[in-house]
Amino acid sequence: MTRSKWASRGRRRLRGGLATAGIAAVLLTAAMPATSASAAPHAIPGSVMIESGTFHGYVLCASPRDQSVWLEPINTGNAYCSWMMLGPASQFTLFNVAKGQVMAYTGGNEGAVVMEAPGTSPLGANGELWSWGGQEDWGASALQSFWDSGQNVDAKSPNGDSPRTDPVHTRGWRHGHQRELTWNAITAG
C-alpha cells in the first residue's frame, strides 16, 4: 500500500474516532442534569483538565466566544476547561465536548493554539494531534504539537513571568524557560 493510502486510512480512522467521541459526548451531555441557560456547562465525566506545570491552579480552556484557547483558573464546573484525550500519550486529540471541537496547532514558532472542527486543520490531521514529552524533574511534561514536536503549548505571559492573559500560543523548547511549556492532565470532575 502506498504512503498516501496509509495516510488517508489514518485520517479516516481519526475522523471516525472523533465522530464516535462526539456521539458519546452528546449522550453524556444528555444524561447530565439540566442547568440554567446562564450557567456554564459542567465538567464531563471521564474528562481531564490540562493544568500548567508551573502555574498551578491554571488550566487550558476553550473560549465559548471565539476559536481561541485560554489559560484560566481552575473551575471544575466549567466544561470549556474539560478535555477528552483520545489516543495514546504519544499521539492524541484533545476534544472539548462543550465546544464540540478539537484543539489544534496553526504552525510556526509562537503559533496560535485554536479550536476547530475535527478534520479541518490546514496542516492536515497531524495539526490536530498532540503528544506528551518526557516527565521533567518538577513532575510535568511538555505538551507538544504532533505536527512539530519542537513547538510546545506555552503558559507564560509574553509580558512577564506570570500566567498568560492572552490567547494561548506555542513556543520552542529552547526559547526561554521550559517549565512554562509543561502540563499535567488532571481529573476534571
Question: Which runs of E-coded beta strand occur in the chain?
Answer: 48-52, 58-62, 69-73, 84-86, 93-96, 101-105, 113-116, 130-135, 141-145, 151-154, 169-172, 182-187
- By the 8 A CB rule, do 103 and 169 touch? no
Cell of 56: 498551578
pLDDT attached to residue 44: 67
pLDDT attached to residue 186: 94
3-state secondary structure of 5: helix
pLDDT attached to residue 159: 85
Cα–Cα dist 62/21, whole Å = 17
Domains of the chain: 3-33+41-187 (2.80.10.50)
Q: Which residue in 97, 132, 147 sits closest to 118, CA to CA?
A: 97
What is the residue-level pLDDT of the chain in tens, covering all 189 positions? 444 444 444 444 444 444 434 434 433 333 333 222 333 456 667 899 999 999 999 999 999 999 999 999 998 889 999 999 999 999 999 999 999 999 999 999 999 999 999 999 999 999 999 999 999 999 999 999 999 999 999 999 988 889 999 999 999 976 667 899 999 999 876
pLDDT attached to residue 158: 87
- DSSP class of 83: B
pLDDT attached to residue 176: 63
